[in-house]
Amino acid sequence: MGRTAQRTEPVLYNRLAVLRTERGLSRQALAEALDVNYQTIGYLERGEYNPSLELALRAAEYFAVPVDAIFSRKPFTPMSEQLYGGGRG
Amino acid sequence: MARIDGLSQRTRRLIAVASLAGLPAMFGWSSFWIKTSAPGLLWGPVSFALILATALGSFVLYTYVRDRANRNANLDERQRRLRDQAWVLCYEVLSAVVIAAVAVISVMVLGFGRTVTLDGAVVGGLAICVGVLIPLLPVAAMAWVEPNAPLEA
């Protein structure tokens, strides 16, 4: 999950890589769907670029999930933990 | 071309500095060479190397940046932000160079009472530097500010 590494910007975590992989999309395909350069997807996933509100909303619309399911100011808990709880085995 | 696209930020920054410094350094070297008794054989290769730094560096920078420094290029929001950063850096560098030049001339004239002569060679050299380096500056700034590209998924 991406985390912002730039010192001047607030930290913004995201689940773009998880959602993209889950849907079997390449960065290029997602970039075309969101109308951005494919490298921008890489920077977003690495947390080295914080999207504008408009791009965040476009991503949420594309994945058909609420925007706070993709971007958060706090680290995300792993999907498996959310789905199956914190227990092991 | 793929190798140029994959250049690291550090390499790009070195190339940007070499490209911008090469031509002025060549004129500086020529002025120095005329006033000293340095061997004539030395002038050609050193001058050629310095011009080559600007020529080759410019080629690499223009190939790397393409139209991304252009104000009318079709860019996404991240690229637009980088382009704006590059233009800010560009104006900062330009301002610093102008202020430094005015300061040096002021100190020479007012402080040491020396006269500054603008003959044909000096004006010609300045015109060539301005003509080549001003258009290169936004491209070099763009190559300077762009971070390393993320690895392919």
Distance CA B107, CA B113 (A): 8
Distance CA B71, CA B82 (A): 12
pLDDT digits (tens, 9 = 90+) for B98-144: 999 999 999 989 988 888 888 888 888 889 989 999 999 999 999 99
Place of tokens 């762009």: B146
Distance CA A79, CA A18 (A): 9
Strand blocks (E) in A2-45? 13-14
Using 50, 70 and 90 to split pLDDT, how confident is the model at A4?
very low
pLDDT digits (tens, 9 = 90+) for B135-152: 999 999 999 999 988 766
Residue A2, classed as helix, strand or coil, is strand
Model ipTM? Answer: 0.76
Asked if residue A3 has pLDDT above 60, the reply is no
CB pair distance less than 8 Å for B78 and A27 = no
Local structure of residue B111 (DSSP, 8 states): I
CA of B79, closest CA in chain A: separation in Å? 8
The residue among B38 and A17 whose pLDDT is bigger is: A17
pLDDT digits (tens, 9 = 90+) for B39-53: 778 888 999 999 999
Closest by alpha carbon to B69, among B132, B147, B145?
B145
Asked if residue B34 has pLDDT above 80, the reply is yes
B152 near A CB under 8 A: yes
Distance CA B145, CA A42 (A): 17
Cross-strand partners of A13? A72
State residue B18 phi and psi, 5-degree precision: -60, -40
pLDDT digits (tens, 9 = 90+) for A8-66: 677 889 999 999 999 999 999 999 999 999 889 999 998 889 999 999 999 999 999 99
Position A28 scores a pLDDT of 93
Contact yes or no for A55/A34 (Cβ under 8 A): yes
The residue among A80 and A87 whose pLDDT is bigger is: A80
Asked if residue A5 has pLDDT above 50, the reply is no
Distance CA A77, CA A75 (A): 7
Structure tokens at B110: 């007012």
CA of B75, closest CA in chain A: separation in Å? 8
The residue among B16 and B38 whose pLDDT is bigger is: B16
Asked if residue A83 has pLDDT above 90, the reply is no
Position A89 scores a pLDDT of 47
Contact yes or no for A42/B149 (Cβ under 8 A): yes
pLDDT digits (tens, 9 = 90+) for B68-88: 988 888 899 999 999 999 999
CB < 8 Å to B66, chain A: none
Contact yes or no for B150/A2 (Cβ under 8 A): no
Distance CA A43, CA A4 (A): 9
Distance CA B86, CA B140 (A): 8
Position A88 scores a pLDDT of 54
Using 50, 70 and 90 to split pLDDT, how confident is the model at A1?
low
User: In chain B, whose CA is at the least distance from the CA of A5?
Assistant: B147
CA B31 vs. chain centroid, Å, equals 19
CB pair distance less than 8 Å for A42 and B77 = no
Cross-strand partners of B150? none
